[in-house]
Amino acid sequence: MNRELIHIARASKLILTVCYCGPVYMQPDRSRFRLLQRFLYREVLKNDSSNTSGKRHISMSGLRPLIGYDLDPQYALSDFFDVYYTINVQDYTKIMIDISSFIPAAQVIIPTNATHCRIIAVAAALDFYSYSAYMQSTQSSLIPLNRDPVNAFNLTIPMPQPVGEPIVILLGLSFINGEIAEPGIPVYCQSVKIIHVENANPKTQTQIQAQTNAQI
């Protein structure tokens, strides 16, 4: 088999594994795997200008097309979650996702029988050579799906180690029926989106000093 196709298949499996092992917990679907394979091959692999066709590899600098990718296009996050948020990477030590105030009943599309939702964030350092991932995550409290305003809040994730790998940040939305949910049982995320890709290389002291001098 073509070396690139093997690489893309393994890379797709790596990304989806982050979405299957929790706390972002999507129900496995083979079609999702095939869609991601095609996307990586057409939109990401083409950015490798260092290797010839047939030997191309996913590089850190070529991952920008992944930003905004919905892991399940049938359940795009923006179709369910009409809430403004921003991503801030602070000193390469933590990632903060600031969620604006919102009214769930007006800004969240609520599936039948759902009573609450939870917002889940994951940062995963992906090594596309050894096909391994290192994850950090956090999640909101349960949010009642009513018309009571939810105050602005943030989700803070420690920067996953080791540094030097691309950091893929995902935001997931999970719906729960509080009357029948069993404590401790994972609840499937209906929508999961890659909202940011960060280069985790730390700044050197020279870069920090140059930035300080520029500000002065």
Return phi, psi of residue 40, to 5°: -60, -40
Strand partners, 157: 95
Task: Convert 31-50 to b/e letters by CB count within 10 Å (16 or more is b).
Answer: ebeebbbebbbeebbeebee
Q: How far apart are CA 148 and CA 198, in angstroms?
A: 34
| Helix/strand/coil for 110 | coil
The CB-side HSE value for 85 (13 A sphere, CA atoms) comes to 27
pLDDT average per 10 residues of sequence, the chain (216 residues)? 90 92 85 95 91 87 91 92 94 90 96 91 92 92 95 95 81 86 72 86 36 36
Cβ-contact 11, 40 below 8 angstroms: yes
Exposed, middle or buried, 192 (CB in 10 Å: 0-12/13-18/19+)?
buried
The predicted model scores a pTM of 0.86
Specify which residues 84 forms β-bridges with: none
The reported pLDDT for the residue numbered 184 is 64
Residue 162: asked if its preceding bond is cis (omega within 30°), the reply is yes
pLDDT at 1: 61
